[in-house]
Chains A and B, each alone.
Chain A
Amino acid sequence: QKEVEQDPGPLSVPEGAIVSLNCTYSNSAFQYFMWYRQYSRKGPELLMYTYSSGNKEDGRFTAQVDKSSKYISLFIRDSQPSDSATYLCAFKRGTNAGKSTFGDGTTLTVKP
């Protein structure tokens, strides 16, 4: 069983829709929960990170972490065509950890 499972997609939504992206994980040691966006032929870029449980909001993006269920989500409000990309969840054990463990990504297309 993989440490991280990400809803595979692909996902296609009309402009303005609310998008929900989700991951589950099995490693209780994870303390940092991240979402990256990756455009085609580019490296991933960090969108948001959360430490421990709870919600975090940044503009149109909201990240939620439920450690009891080992479940994280990213919500995108008022989605735009420029949001079209692959979204990767990622996890890290602690402050000093080097390794990040990534999901396999969900490809999102927002149609104008």
Chain B
Amino acid sequence: DTGVSQDPRHKITKRGQNVTFRCDPISEHNRLYWYRQTLGQGPEFLTYFQNEAQLEKSRLLSDRFSAERPKGSFSTLEIQRTEQGDSAMYLCASSPDPSETVGNYNEQFFGPGTRLTVL
């Protein structure tokens, strides 16, 4: 049974560089979420997809951030022109559609995260 996987687990980059992270959800899940978590804080929602459609984006997702899920399977999160304030753990989660669950609650299963350090 494979859970949500993320790659890379750690990324160190210099300010101004572009970075891309990948998330592979649980195979039968059609929803995929991205969150960002900084030290001492809870995860903050960034965006989510249902299949390949990006249904919601947070105001936190500035123009430098873009997420895609081209075939409704894996997803990528790209950060352009990284800043030191982008240093954080980037978490991906997946869930089934609520209509496919008992009681309509669709649990989000989180991956291990990608830790980004911007120098």
Name the prevailing secondary structure of the B interface residues: mixed
| B45: nearest chain-A partner, CB-CB | A99
Please give the distance in Å from B34's CB to the nearest CB on chain A: 11
Given known pairs A44-B110, A103-B42, the reply for A95 and B48 (CB within 8 Å) is: no
* B interface size (C-beta, 8 A): 27
Give the CA-CA distance A100 to B41 in the complex, in Å: 14
Stretch at the interface among A12-20, A45-53, A59-67, A71-79: A45-53
B33 contacts A98, C-beta separation under 8 Å? yes
Chain A, residue nearest B111 (CB): A43
Which of B14-22, B64-72, B77-85, B98-106 lies on the face that meets chain A?
Answer: B98-106
CB distance from A109 to the nearest CB of B (A): 16
- Report the minimal beta-carbon distance from A78 to chain B, rounded to whole angstroms: 25
Q: How far is the CA of A98 from the CA of B48 in the complex (A)?
A: 7
Check A42/B56 contact, CB under 8 A, given A51-B105, A98-B33, A102-B43: no
Q: Are B91 and A43 in contact (CB under 8 A)?
A: yes
Contacts of A99 in B (CB 8 A): 33, 45, 48, 56, 58
Within residues 91 to 110 of chain A, which ones have a CB less than 8 A from any CB in chain B?
95-96, 98-105
How long is the Cα–Cα vector from A6 to B41 in the complex, in angstroms?
10
Task: Say how far A89's CB is from chain B's closest CB, in angstroms.
Answer: 8
A101 to B110 CA separation, bound complex (whole angstroms): 14
Cβ 8 A contact of B55, one of A51, A90, A98: A98
A102 and B43 CA atoms in complex are apart in Å by 6
Contact A104/B4 with A42-B112, A49-B105, A95-B104 known, Cβ cut-off 8 Å: no
